[in-house]
Amino acid sequence: MTWTSGLAIYMLFWVTSAFIVLPFHARTHDEAGLSKIPGQADSAPANFRPLRVILWTTLISAAIFALYYANWVFGWVTADMFDVFAD
């Protein structure tokens, strides 16, 4: 695997992890007991912390990529194991 392929795969894991991490620790204004601005969506977060999201996303995606890379090196799970049409 070249480093560019590894970077592309890591970025795919990072973006996927970001969508998984975003809903956690997000509280609406109603849950936080704050007043809303007129026209504001009911689901808008009151305490959005982008650095926290970036940190958690990076940690989770690094762990997933480490597992992926270890599987690529050691061959724990291969495509041949999923051949459902084998004789």
In a domain, 66, yes or no: yes
Overall domain count for the chain = 1
* Domain coverage including residue 70: 3-78
Give the mean pLDDT of the chain: 92
Residue 15: which of 54, 68, 71 has the closest Cα? 54
Instruction: Give the pLDDT of residue 12.
Output: 98
pLDDT, tens digit, 9 for 90 and up, residues 3-28? 999 999 999 999 999 999 998 888 88
Comparison of pLDDT for 66 and 1, the residue scoring more: 66
The answer to whether 29 touches 35, Cβ cutoff 8 Å, is yes
Please give the average per-residue pLDDT across 40-50, as a whole number: 88
In a domain, 12, yes or no: yes
Instruction: Give the pLDDT of residue 87.
Output: 63
Of 46-50, 54-58, 67-71, give the lowest mean pLDDT range.
Answer: 46-50
